Chain A
Amino acid sequence: MRTTLAQARLILRHDLRLLWRDVLAGRLGEYVSGALFVVLFLIANAITIPLFFLLHGRPPLAAETLAWLFFGLLMLSAAMNHAIRVLFERSDFDLLLSAPVSPRAVLLARTAAMSAAAALMVLMFIPPLLNGALLAVSPRYLAGYLVWLLLAFAVSSAGVWFTLVLVKWLGPRRARVWAQVAAAALGASVYLLTQSQSFIRDNRRSEFFAAAMRLLHQPWLSFVARAGRGEFLPLLALAAIAIGLTAGTTRLLARTFIDGVQEGNAIAPGKRRRPSRRRAFTASVGRATFWKDVRLIARDPLLLAQVLPSALYILPAAFGMAEFGGLKLLGPLALVLATQFSITLTAVCASGEECWDLIRLSPTPELRLRLAKMAAGMALPVIVSFTLCAILAAIGHPVLALLGVVYSFGCAAAGAWLQVVRIKPTPRRDVLKRGRHGYNIVGSLVAIAIMFTGAVGLGLAGSTHWVAATVVLGVTALAVAGCFTLVGFEEVASREFTPPPSAG
C-alpha cells in the first residue's frame, strides 16, 4: 500500500499537468502562449532590475510589507476561487473516491495544486521584484522565493478552511455561491486598497498615511517582509505557520472535504418548492424569451455572485467624481452601471444560451430571440440606472436626469447589441471566465469606449462646459447609432459551433 505522501504526489503530478494546460489554453495555442509568457516575464525583469539599481538601497519595510500584503490577498482570492473549483467542479472525484486512495492524500494534493495556482497568479510580479532586489540590494532576498512558496501554501490552506467551514455551515450548494462572493469581494477589496486615497478627503490624507505606516510596521504584519529579507526567525515563523496550516488542513478537514464532495455531486433531493403562481402562458416568442432569460439570471446566484461584486470597482471613481462634481455626477455613474452590467448580462444570455439546439430547431427567426435576450440582459441594469436618474431629477437637475436616462439607455443598448450580433456559444458557467471565448471582446472594448465617452459627456453637461458637452455627447450619439447601423447581425446557424457527435 502506498503511503499518503506517495499517493498525494501521484495526484499532484496529474493536477499540475492539468493546471499547466489550463494556464496555456487559449486561442493562441500552447507554444505561442508559452513563448508570449516567457517574453512578458523577461520584459518584467528588464523593467524591475534596472529600477532597483536606480533606487540605491533597500526599500522601506512598510513598502515591502504592503507589497507582500497585496500579493498575499491576491493569492488568497485566487486560492478561494480555486477551492470552489477543486471542491465542486472537478469531474474526477468519482474516479478518486472509488479508488483505494486516502482522502488525506487527495486533500493534500489538491491543497498543493491550489498553492501552485495561487503562486502562478503573481508569477509576473513577485519573481521580477525579487530578482531586482537580490541583484541590486542583497542576495539575502533569495529567501523571498521561499516566502512566496510558503505564503502560497498558507493562503491555500486558509482558502480550504474558509470554503469547508462554509460547506459545513451552509451546505455545498450555498457554500459555492458564498465562497464565490467572498473571493470576488476580496479581489475587489485588494483593488480598493490600492485606491484608498480616493475615499479620503485631502485634509485627512496625511493622518491616514501616518496611521497606515504605523500599521505596516507592526511585527505581526511585517514579519513576512522581514522573512523575505532573509531574516531567520521571521522565516522560521512563516514556515511553521505554512506547514502547520497545511498539515492541520489535511488532518482535520479530510472528512469534511470528502463529505462536501459527495454531497455536492449528488443529485439535489426533490425538495418541495413553494408552489409557483399559476400564470397564463404567453404566445409572444419575444416575451417568452425575455422572461425565460430574466428568470435564468435571477435564479442563478452563482452568476449574480460573479457579476455584482464588480460594482465595487466603480466605487473609487464614484467617490472621486463626487468630490469633483457632487451629486450631479449621478448621471455618468448611472450610464457606467447600465452599460457595464448590460454588456455582462447580455453576454451571459446570448453566448451562454443553454439550448441553442432547441432554438435552431425552431422555425422562429433568430433576430427576434436575440432582441429579447438583449432586453433581458439590459432590464436590471437599466432599472438601477433609471432609479439613479430619478434621484438626480428629484434633487433639482431634471435636464441632466433626462440626458442620463437617454444616454444610459443608448450606451447600454449599444453594448448589449454588440454582444448579441456576434454570439460565441459557450457553456454558461464559462462565459465570464477569463481566457474563455464567451465574450465578444472587440465588441466589449468598443462598448466600453462609448461608455467612457458618454460618461465624460454627461460629466461635462453637469458642469458649465456646455459646448464641450454638446460635442462629446454628439460623438457618443453617433457612435451608438454606428453600432446599430454598421455592425451587422451574424447568424449563429451559419457556423458549426456544435462539435461533431462522438457516437452514432
Chain B
Amino acid sequence: MDDTAPPLAAAITTAPPLACETRNLRKIFGSTKAVERLDLRIPRGMLYGFLGPNGAGKTTSLRMIAGLLKPDLGDIFIQGVSLRADPTAAKQPLAYVPDDPVLYGKLRPLEHLEFVAALWNLPAGTAQPRAEELLRTLGLWEKRDDYIESFSRGMKQKMALAAALIHAPTVMLLDEPLTGLDAASARLVKDLLNDFVHRGGTVILTTHILDVAERMAERIGIIHAGRLAAEGTLAELRERAGRTGGTLEDVFLQVTADIPAPPPLTA
C-alpha cells in the first residue's frame, strides 16, 4: 500500500460529489415496471450516453432525474444534493431539454428566455446579454421579433437548448437533442455540448443515433426493460460483449438481444 495516499475515509469526504447519482430508482406505471433498481454514478465533466431500445425507460429515468416524475423508490442526488430532501437546491444546477420541447408559442425568444432566467433567479444584468449571445450563437437572432409558434421544429429545438443554457447549468439532461435538426444545426449542437463538457459541465444524453453516442460519449449506459443492462466506456462495453473490434451498434444489439425481432415487411 502507498503510504502517501490519503486514508480512504478522507478520500471519500474530500472527493468532489458526483454530477448525478441515482440509488435504487424505481418507477412503475400501473402494471408496467418502467424503471427498476437503477443505479447510476455519473462523474462531473463528462458526456454520458444513455441508450436503450424504445420503451426501455430512458425518458422516464431522465424525467425522474429532472424532478418531473416522482420515483416510487430510491433517491437521486445532483452534485451531492438529494432531490428528495432539498429539491430547490438540487434543481439549481440542472437543465433539461425534452425530445419534444414545449415552449410558449405566443412569446418572442427574448421574452421566453427572460422568464426562464427569472425562474432560476438569474440577475437581469447577466441574463439579458447571455440571452442575446445564445440567440446569436444558435442562429436565432434574426428571428428575435417573431413568435416562437412560427418556428420550425429544428428552431424550436434550438430555442429549448437556449432556454436550458440561459442559467449556466452544470448538469444537462438531453432527451434526443438532435431530433429534427439539419446537419449544420446538429453539428452546432454537438460542438456546444462538447464545449460545455470541456468547461467542466456534465451532459446526460439519450439518443437513438448510436454513431453520436459512439463519437461523443465518454461513458455509455444501456438500459433495457427498465434495468441498467450494461455500463462503461466503449472499450469496456466491447470487451464485455466479447467484440473487441465491434461497433457500439454490435454491442447494443447484443446487450438488448432478448427483444423479439419484428416480423419481416412484406412488399
A residues apposed to B, CB below 8 Å: 267-276, 280-285, 287-289, 291-292, 295-296, 299-300, 354-355, 357-365, 493-494, 496, 498, 500-501, 503-504
Q: Which residues of A contact B150 (CB under 8 A)?
A: 267-271
Complex formed: what's the CA distance from A361 to B175 in Å? 15
> What residue in chain A is nearest B86 (Cβ atoms)?
A363
17 CB contacts below 8 A, A to B, read A270-B146, A276-B110, A276-B145, A280-B128, A283-B117, A283-B122, A283-B123, A288-B119, A289-B115, A357-B68, A357-B102, A358-B102, A361-B68, A361-B91, A498-B63, A501-B60, A504-B62
Question: Is B111's CB under 8 angstroms from A292's CB?
Answer: yes
Residue A500 contacts which of B29, B95, B146 (CB distance < 8 angstroms)?
B29
Q: Are B116 and A496 neighbours in the complex by a CB distance under 8 Å?
A: no
Rounded to whole Å, the gap between the CB of B167 and the closest CB of chain A is 9
Q: Does B94 contact A (CB under 8 A)?
A: yes
Asked if A281 contacts B57 (CB within 8 A), the reply is: no
Binding site for A on B (CB under 8 A): 29, 32, 34, 52, 54-60, 62-63, 66-70, 87-89, 91-92, 94-96, 98-99, 102-108, 110-111, 114-124, 127-128, 131, 143-147, 149-150, 152, 163, 175-176, 206
A288-B68 contact, Cβ under 8 Å, with A268-B149, A300-B106, A504-B58: no
The answer to whether B107 and A295 touch across the interface, beta carbons within 8 angstroms, is yes
Neighbouring A residues of B127 by C-beta, 8 Å: 281, 283
The answer on a CB contact under 8 Å between B104 and A361 is no
Whether B147 lies near A498 (C-beta < 8 A) is: no
Contact A364 B119 (CB under 8 A): yes
Q: Which residues of A contact B118 (CB under 8 A)?
A: 281-285, 287-289, 364
User: Are A354 and B102 in touch, CB under 8 angstroms?
Assistant: yes
Closest 10 CB pairs of A and B: A288-B118, A504-B59, A362-B119, A504-B58, A299-B106, A281-B124, A501-B59, A283-B124, A281-B128, A285-B118
Contact in complex: A503, B54 (CB < 8 Å): yes
With contacts A361-B91, A500-B29 known, is A354 near B115, CB below 8 A?
A: no
Whole-angstrom distance between the Cβ of A497 and the nearest chain B Cβ: 10
> In the assembled complex, how far is the CB of residue B84 from the closest CB belonging to chain A, in whole angstroms?
12
* Complex contact A357–B96 (CB within 8 A): yes
**Given the complex of chains A and B, what is the CA–CA distance between A270 and B60 in angstroms?**
35
Is the beta-carbon distance between A273 and B114 smaller than 8 angstroms? no
Q: Is the CB of A270 within 8 A of B111?
A: no
State how many angstroms separate the Cβ of A277 from the closest Cβ of chain B.
10
Q: Are B63 and A501 in contact (CB under 8 A)?
A: yes
